[in-house]
Structure 1
């Protein structure tokens, strides 16, 4: 079994819990996931099985989209509704104020990672320190908010949709927006609706995964790796004279490739349309070459 599963993670489970569930269902240890979701969050969690685990990092820089609910007037020590309340304030905010503040957060912004996160500090994860009551100084990071749309406002709850870059903390975004509004806020509900090419409309629940596996139809839950990569990069067909040399990382002249390079990475197929792996376009002086960076053979 090699492929990608567009899984719908339920709230109440860690991303690793979902991986453990799938390992037990499929009887396979080699499984990884892309884009960690907090235990309280739900939504798209891509799972990579077998040889497909090699592709995880190829999806790390893809855009993520969320629908989030933010509750104004209350701040917590975790930034979400699972933490202890730190402060409550009266909410006197109208729709126009919310729209004006949301516009300020579109583009490249600085975020300080929350203490309750998996960011490492001197070999320890921040949430491990936070659980011991230890707070350390964190350096701000640059993330990008591509779009921020207000869906609904019913005081004190704000429902919004956000499209953002890797490394964006929606909990922190809610805290920063609440601070800008002058009343504080925390994340009260979060659903990831998209991660790169994986959309919630085609995701599969854990119950359905269990059903297909029990019926001997596990193949129905998988997407081929090259199909998952198709929206991210173009493809090329090559004629290999020396496969061993090629898959060891030898450079392949671009004249031997059936396309003009128009991106950093390409999906590589042989003349029989068999998917071989992902290659990187390299330019050296006046020559252009292709080099395998991920082999799926």
Structure 2
């Protein structure tokens, strides 16, 4: 079985699950998973894990993300993008100028609360929101904390413009577009979306499914490639043995309480540990004992 990660360039028109299914056929394995779902109409970076790397997906999804989105003013849909049914049309008396748009965009910087769209895969009482939405049922969705670290206007053009945004996990760009339109005084819809980065996975280095199929070995990245943002700890042979047995070895590290770390036996990933400052011990969270 192959172990590693892939930086996939998802095309528009495919679901993230479609991409996984295609890669299962290419690599002839069922153990494939993706980090951070992209809507079918969206394109861009989709991190994918194979084999043992699927156990590391939760750490890849925590990374920040970058997008470029096109927003169109004047109408709203039930999905928040142009794949949905139009539910509101309103012409603006005058189009906002670039300066006004920039001011509105900058007002979203920092932490805020965002209500997820009904057409999303979030589960409430065991039901996915999009399943409820398709059944004509709308439920109250609790707001979630999001963090936008940068947002800027890229290309204004009459009733539509392109902006770039760097944001935290769990940010819905469709909802952000609707909120931007509200502050501009007009309904708005996301009409195009490309994800340009997830952590260190960038669109410039992403591979298409055709490129993967042509050379599956070449594009497969190492097991720990997608978690390089985590600090690394290299353990002695004795501590490696203790860690792999589920014990809590004592280590010296300038880390804060509860820091998640990559743990290595020589240069091979042994697992993921949580550093506890009190007592200086390392608690195993994921272990790959065959690495030791």
Q: Same fold (TM over 0.5)?
A: yes
Residue 64 of structure 2 corresponds to 63
Number of residues paired by the alignment? Answer: 285
Residue 73 of structure 1 corresponds to 74
- Once the two structures are superposed, residues 52-91 of structure 1 have per-residue CA deviations (whole angstroms, 9 ceiling, x without a partner) of 0010011222110000000011111110000011111113
2:62 and 2:20 map into 1 onto residues whose CA distance is 21
- For the pair 1:293 / 2:281, whether they are aligned, the reply is no
Q: Provide the secondary structure at the position in 1 that maps to 2:238.
A: coil
Of 99-108 and 32-41, deviating more is: 99-108
1:280 and 1:35 map into 2 onto residues whose CA distance is 23
Of 151-160 and 241-250, deviating more is: 241-250
Gaps of 5+ in 2: none
1:116 and 1:260 map into 2 onto residues whose CA distance is 43
2:271 and 2:124 map into 1 onto residues whose CA distance is 35
Residue 206 of structure 2 corresponds to 203
Residue 283 of structure 1 corresponds to 277
2:100 and 2:152 map into 1 onto residues whose CA distance is 14
- For the pair 1:247 / 2:244, whether they are aligned, the reply is yes
Deviation at 1:197, TM superposition (A): 1.1
Gaps of 5+ in 1: 213-217
Q: Runs ≥4 in structure 1, deviation > 6 angstroms?
A: none
Q: Structure 1 residues 242 and 108, CA, compared in 2 at 3 Å: closer, same or farther?
A: closer
- For the pair 1:116 / 2:119, whether they are aligned, the reply is yes
Deviation at 1:278, TM superposition (A): 2.0
1:140 and 1:260 map into 2 onto residues whose CA distance is 35
CA RMSD of aligned residues (A): 1.5
Deviation at 1:239, TM superposition (A): 1.4
Q: TM-score, normalised by structure 1?
A: 0.92
Deviation at 1:109, TM superposition (A): 1.5
Q: Provide the secondary structure at the position in 2 that maps to 1:254.
A: coil
2:254 and 2:170 map into 1 onto residues whose CA distance is 33
Q: TM-score, normalised by structure 2?
A: 0.93
**Alignment counterpart, residue 185 of structure 1, candidates 162, 184, 188:** 188
